[in-house]
Amino acid sequence: MAVQRNSVELQSQPETALFGLEPSDEVSQSLGPVDQGRQAWTVLIAGVTFEAIFWGFPMAFGVFQNYYSTIPEFQKDNSKIPFVGTLAQSLYYLGAPFSAILTRRFPKYQRQQIWLGWPLCILGLLSASFTTSVNGLIGTQGLLYGLGFVLLSYPIVSMVNEWWIARKGMAFGLISASSGITGAFLPFIIEALLGRYGYKTTLRACAVAMTILTAPLIPLFKGRLPASESFAFARTNWSFLKRPLFWVYALSILGQGFGFFFPAVFLPSYAAALNIPSIKGALLLALMCIAQVLGQFTFGYLSDKTFSVNSLSIVCCVAAAVAAFVFWGLAKSITFLVVFSLLHGFFSFGFGTLRVAMGRAVSEDQATIFATYALFVFLQGVGNILVSPISAALIVGPPMHERFGVEKYSGVVILTGASSALAGLIIALWLGCRMLARAHSDRGPCRH
């Protein structure tokens, strides 16, 4: 499909089949240009804003967690407080395939799906401001917010997927990186509000701010393809599940996910174990978020060019593994931790934004790319829900400054580095397998 084409007969095979649509025999429709133009940029900018605000808030939950731990009425269930943030994030990851299926099944109502998820997020924060128990927080700031977020996200992903084709990696790189922008400064704002006004007023203020900043943007979301009664939205072609390359990427993403989330959770605690002031621990997370923005945009942009997604993935994984083993595990001062924060943010998050390019390597069909994206998000999220039980098993004993990972966090550091190394190794072994197959025969178990 030529990306410059401004209009098209929807009866033509390349345009409609590309998106998994079955046109009626009489429908002809003028479509906006892909990868350019006011409509494409409007949808992308609105999507970046939504992602920055709604994904940035769960990323700042650590500040709420620290504050909730000091409230007397929450002390009885103090051990459950981390589950609030885990639930909100896990619903986004694990609910991705289901939200994507809903979006695919009812393409005519994508904007209505956003209207369904958006108030749930707002209601989750407002209702949390009235609760006086940890279970109440789990049901509101955790469950309601997470459910609303995953519902509103995939109609936006679908629309961006329609408007951006050749520059899809750049577009999704911006979407992914946007949460890093808010993650760099939002925790400091929330911490200041909590310290001055308490959690009830802070949650209400956040709900009002979200409403004001995002409500005017919802009418701007519009799919490129007309979703009318004349179109029957075709079933997803699941034949990509038979392709070995899909499973190579799936295993790689799953492996990386087991260690990906630990630095954001434990880096401030690690810094505290080295007697580094808490404000500097928070700054480490801010630096990681800034590096995340740069990394996700960079690798998203590069994936649109002639760079191999396999090579980019291996570079990300190797660099992230070295950063964990050297600059985190051997850190005895703030300097090494700063270097680690920058490298982990740039390369580990950069690997995450390659999900789109991996989908394109599996199939050029846009509907398949949308499906693989949701499945890859799900697989990465498996690691998110395992952070608490795994860390409980790995973090033992008091800190010992002279030991690797200050002893107490050595298991977490090793798992973080090993998971990235494993992800890169899986893809490298696949490439090696294919090279050997090509050297000996065109037939073999390693065929793509």
Q: What is the pLDDT of residue 409?
A: 87
Q: What is the pLDDT of residue 18?
A: 41
d(CA 244, CA 423): 16
Note the Cα 69 to chain centre separation in Å: 27
Q: How many CB atoms lie within 10 A of CB 50?
A: 24
**Residues, the chain, total?**
448
Judge whether 185 and 25 are in contact, CB under 8 Å.
no
Rounded (10°) angle between helices 96-105 and 366-385: 150
d(CA 19, CA 162): 8
Task: Tell me the DSSP string of 265-312.
Answer: HHHHHHHHHTT--HHHHHHHHHHHHHHHHHHHHHHHHHHHTT--HHHH
Judge whether 359 and 373 are in contact, CB under 8 Å.
yes
Evaluate the CA torsion angle 65, 71, 75, 77 in order and state its sign: negative
Task: Tell me the DSSP string of 142-163.
Answer: IIIHHHHHHHHHHHHHHHHHHH
Q: For each of the chain's 448 residues, which pLDDT tens digit applies?
A: 333 434 333 333 344 444 444 444 333 346 778 878 888 999 999 999 998 999 888 877 878 887 888 888 888 887 788 788 888 888 989 998 899 888 888 888 888 999 999 999 999 999 999 998 989 999 999 999 999 999 999 899 888 888 888 888 888 888 888 888 888 888 888 888 988 999 999 999 999 999 999 999 999 998 877 765 334 444 567 888 989 999 999 999 999 999 998 888 788 888 888 988 877 887 888 899 899 989 998 998 898 888 899 999 999 999 999 999 999 999 998 999 999 999 999 999 999 889 989 998 998 887 888 889 889 999 988 888 887 788 778 887 777 888 898 888 889 999 999 999 999 999 999 999 888 888 776 555 555 5
Judge whether 399 and 407 are in contact, CB under 8 Å.
yes
Q: Which residue ranges form the domains of the chain, and what is each CATH number? A: 35-235 (1.20.1250.20), 239-438 (1.20.1250.20)
Query: Please, what's the b/e burial string for 414-435 (b: 16 or more CB within 10 A of its CB; e: otherwise)?
Result: bbbbbbbbbbbbbbbebeebbe
Nearest to 289 by CA among 301, 277, 297, 300: 297
